[in-house]
């Protein structure tokens, strides 16, 4: 779940607009694989929409109040279910943001993307959480506690220097947060090894601590909702999406009740329910003897309809027919169903009392006929929280593009020349930018004639992601001048190098200024597990 994987990379594509954005995908790229611990790379961001169900952020951008420049420029390119968060921010309702940092090396400019995303959400009114994933660093990367402590301090100082308010937010480390560990224990009862095998490729050689660190990360993602359920966003790189998907599943499994639509007393699978719903709309109750549509009537209509006209496969049709025929003369009526997933007897009884209007109570579910799906979801959550449950909302996520390494390819903490550390001497930062690979042509004459390839240029990324800050006009001017042939790489790198030097100098001054703030923050800087 850490949003700071050290293998950041970006694949380039051909520019399609005059906007100062990187396309982020290579046409015809191979299949995408996502591995939170480092063996995968994202070669085509566009495939993430199709293969993993990530939605395009542009579709929700207009609903975001005061969008951050990373959102406006397409650096934040995708999301899972971000609308509830955007709506909460718009309406000054409770919301939260959380991301974690695995302290395996110095914080660098790639990590700044996540720092900025946390801080922006905090400034928009969300409860903000920054965590040090020290258990993961120890279990998955074999880091010593002494190394972890050293790097953790550096991450926290940079987060504070960039604007995180520790009085309004919370900083913690996994190893010393007992509430988090208790939640992880509960979540572990809802997960199993075969699931970890399918998601992460774990096998018989995977140590138990590594598996425990996954459950701890699931607890991290849900931690902001311990006091109350609320929309929560996790800003990460797309390689962390497996964690988000598992956390959303576990949040659902922890709920007391599942709310769904139904048409009879028995349970239907989603495809089966859609088929029955279609025929419910098609058939007229007045056409039957007692003006009541019954299960047997729907079954007869299905049997009389050519398979080519039914929007379901043969197995679904066969299953639906069996269920309808067994129900016989039971009326078919739309209703909202509250299914008892893991509710206590107290919660089940409280829900029965809370449902107004006509209802039917069964051993494992309640059918209500005068409440819609949205209101039912809210009622089920209220009853759950009132009777001791969590009432978790599925966590949302936003995904940012990886930064290309200054030498091309991956930006890696283990390759000093590929990245700029937030701790680098400003002069060293200047030199690294001056030595960086560019998207320029082979000669100045060709550059003036054909224009540069800003979408393939690590130096342009520095402008778009960091150096131009909130100034979209500046970012667009650099882009247009590059692709229009007016801007040559030497001058462009000189300007970027100077801006990077200034940024590092200012950032490190601010780090020194917030050292006392870190000492006063409610977080242990030295792990008690240190040995």
Strand order in the sheet with 55-56: 55-56, 76-80, 396-400, 232-236, 96-101, 127-132, 170-173
Residues in the chain: 531
Residue range(s) of every CATH 1.10.240.10 domain in the chain: 426-519
Q: What is the pLDDT of residues 347-375, one digit of tens each?
A: 999 999 999 999 999 999 999 999 999 99
Neighbouring C-beta atoms of residue 364, cutoff 10 Å: 11
Q: Is the pLDDT of residue 90 over 50?
A: yes
- In this structure, of 194-203, 362-371, 486-495, 516-525, the range with the lowest mean pLDDT score is 194-203
Q: Is the pLDDT of residue 203 over 80?
A: yes
Q: Is the pLDDT of residue 28 over 70?
A: no
Q: Residue 34: what pLDDT?
A: 42
Stretch 34-60: mean pLDDT:
68
Max Cα–Cα distance, the chain, nearest Å = 88
Residue whose token pair is 């790189």: 237
158: enclosing H helix or E strand: helix 145-161
Average pLDDT along the chain: 89
Q: Residue 292: what pLDDT?
A: 87
The Cα–Cα gap between 103 and 100 comes to 9
pLDDT cut 70: percent of the chain above it: 90
Residue range(s) of every CATH 3.40.50.620 domain in the chain: 45-255+395-400
Q: Residue 24: what pLDDT?
A: 30
The Cα–Cα gap between 204 and 210 comes to 12
Q: What is the pLDDT of residues 166-189, one digit of tens each?
A: 999 999 999 999 999 999 999 999
Q: Is the pLDDT of residue 222 over 90?
A: yes
Residues 6+ apart with CB under 8 A from 445: none
- What's the pTM value of the predicted model, to 2 decimals? 0.87
| Banded pLDDT at 42 (limits 50, 70, 90) | low
Q: Are 418 and 406 in contact (CB under 8 A)?
A: yes
Token pair of 363, please? 């051993």
The residues that bridge with 410 in the sheet, in sequence order, are 404
Token pair of 240, please? 């962390």
208-222 and 134-141 helices cross at what angle (nearest 10)?
A: 150
Q: How far is CA 502 from CA 70, 164, 405, 423, 457, in A?
A: 21, 21, 20, 13, 21
Stretch 485-510: mean pLDDT:
96
Q: Is the pLDDT of residue 492 over 90?
A: yes
Q: Residue 419: what pLDDT?
A: 86
| Banded pLDDT at 207 (limits 50, 70, 90) | confident
Q: In the CATH hierarchy, which fold is given to the domain comprising 45-255+395-400?
A: Rossmann fold (3.40.50)
Residue whose token pair is 């088929």: 275
Q: Residue 409: what pLDDT?
A: 73
Residue 410 three-state SS: strand
| Banded pLDDT at 264 (limits 50, 70, 90) | very high
Token pair of 98, please? 């959380």
Q: Is the pLDDT of residue 29 over 70?
A: no
Q: What is the pLDDT of residues 437-484, one digit of tens each?
A: 898 888 889 989 999 999 889 999 999 999 999 999 999 999 999 999
Q: Is the pLDDT of residue 193 over 70?
A: yes
Q: Is the pLDDT of residue 30 over 80?
A: no
Q: Is the pLDDT of residue 23 over 50?
A: no
| Banded pLDDT at 41 (limits 50, 70, 90) | very low
Q: Is the pLDDT of residue 115 over 80?
A: yes
Stretch 30-48: mean pLDDT:
50
| Banded pLDDT at 210 (limits 50, 70, 90) | confident
The Cα–Cα gap between 494 and 434 comes to 7
Strand order in the sheet with 335-340: 257-262, 335-340, 365-368, 359-361
HSE-CB at 195 with a 13 A cutoff on CA atoms is: 15
399: enclosing H helix or E strand: strand 396-400
Dihedral sign for Cα 403, 407, 412, 416, please.
negative
| Banded pLDDT at 1 (limits 50, 70, 90) | low
Residue whose token pair is 């001056």: 434
The Cα–Cα gap between 236 and 402 comes to 10
Q: What is the pLDDT of residues 3-17, one digit of tens each?
A: 544 333 333 333 333
- Selected residue with higher pLDDT from 232 and 237: 232
Q: Residue 120: what pLDDT?
A: 98
Where does residue 24 fall: left (phi above 0), alpha (psi -120 to 50 degrees), or beta otherwise?
left
Q: Residue 3: what pLDDT?
A: 55
The Cα–Cα gap between 134 and 141 comes to 10
Instruction: Give the CATH number of domain 426-519; options: 1.10.760.10, 3.40.50.720, 3.40.1010.10, 1.10.240.10.
Output: 1.10.240.10
Q: Residue 295: what pLDDT?
A: 94
Q: Is the pLDDT of residue 40 over 70?
A: no
- DSSP one-letter string for 68-91: -HHHHTTSEEEEES-HHHHHHHHT
The Cα–Cα gap between 376 and 372 comes to 6
Q: Are 420 and 108 in contact (CB under 8 A)?
A: yes
- The alpha carbon of 260 is separated from its chain's Cα centroid by a whole number of angstroms, namely 25
Q: What is the pLDDT of residues 388-441, one digit of tens each?
A: 999 999 999 999 988 888 887 767 766 777 889 999 999 999 999 999 989 888
């Amino acid at each position: 779940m850490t949003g700071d994987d050290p293998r950041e990379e970006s694949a380039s594509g051909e520019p399609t607009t005059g906007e100062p954005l990187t396309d982020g995908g290579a046409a015809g790229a191979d299949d995408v694989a996502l591995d939170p611990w480092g063996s995968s790379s994202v070669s085509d961001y566009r495939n993430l929409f199709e293969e993993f169900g990530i939605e395009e952020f542009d579709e929700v951008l207009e609903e975001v109040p005061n969008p951050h420049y990373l959102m406006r420029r397409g650096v934040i390119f995708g999301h899972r279910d971000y609308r509830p968060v955007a709506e909460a921010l718009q309406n000054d309702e409770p919301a939260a943001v959380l991301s974690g940092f695995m302290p395996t090396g110095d914080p660098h400019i790639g990590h700044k993307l996540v720092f900025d995303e946390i801080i922006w959400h905090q400034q928009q009114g969300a409860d903000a959480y920054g965590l040090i994933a020290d258990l993961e660093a120890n279990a998955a990367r074999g880091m010593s506690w002494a190394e972890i402590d050293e790097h953790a301090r550096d991450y926290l100082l940079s987060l504070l220097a960039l604007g995180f308010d520790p009085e309004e937010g919370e900083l913690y480390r996994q190893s010393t947060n007992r509430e988090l560990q208790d939640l992880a224990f509960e979540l572990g009862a809802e997960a199993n090894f075969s699931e970890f095998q399918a998601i992460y490729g774990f096998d018989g050689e995977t140590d138990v601590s590594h598996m425990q660190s996954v459950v701890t990360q699931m607890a991290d993602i849900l931690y902001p909702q311990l006091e109350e359920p609320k929309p929560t966003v996790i800003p990460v790189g797309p390689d962390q999406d497996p964690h988000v998907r598992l956390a959303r599943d576990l949040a659902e499994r922890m709920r007391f009740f599942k709310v769904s639509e139904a048409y009879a007393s028995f349970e239907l699978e989603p495809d089966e329910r859609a088929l029955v719903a279609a025929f419910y709309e098609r058939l007229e109750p007045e056409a039957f003897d007692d003006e009541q549509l019954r299960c047997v009537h729907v079954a007869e209509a299905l049997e009389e309809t050519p398979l080519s006209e039914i929007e379901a496969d043969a197995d679904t049709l066969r299953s639906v027919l069996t269920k309808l025929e067994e129900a016989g003369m039971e009326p078919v009526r739309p209703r909202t169903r509250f299914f008892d997933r893991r509710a206590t007897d107290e919660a089940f009884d409280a829900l029965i009392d809370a449902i107004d209007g006509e209802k039917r109570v069964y051993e494992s579910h309640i059918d209500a006929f005068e409440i819609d799906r949205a209101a039912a979801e809210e009622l089920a959550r209220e009853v759950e929280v009132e009777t001791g449950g969590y009432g978790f909302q599925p966590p949302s996520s936003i995904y940012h593009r990886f930064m290309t390494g200054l030498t091309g390819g991956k930006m890696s903490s283990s390759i000093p020349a590929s990245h700029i550390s937030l701790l680098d001497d400003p002069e060293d930062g200047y030199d690294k930018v001056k030595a960086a690979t560019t998207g320029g042509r082979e000669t100045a004459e060709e550059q003036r004639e054909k224009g540069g390839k800003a979408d393939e240029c690590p130096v342009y990324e520095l402008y778009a992601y960091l150096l131009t800050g909130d100034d979209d006009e500046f970012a667009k001017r650099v882009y247009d001048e590059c692709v229009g042939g007016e801007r040559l790489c030497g001058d462009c790198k000189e300007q970027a190098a100077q801006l990077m030097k200034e940024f590092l100098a200012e950032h490190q001054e601010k780090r020194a200024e917030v050292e006392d703030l870190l000492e006063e923050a409610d977080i242990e800087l030295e792990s008690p597990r240190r040995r």
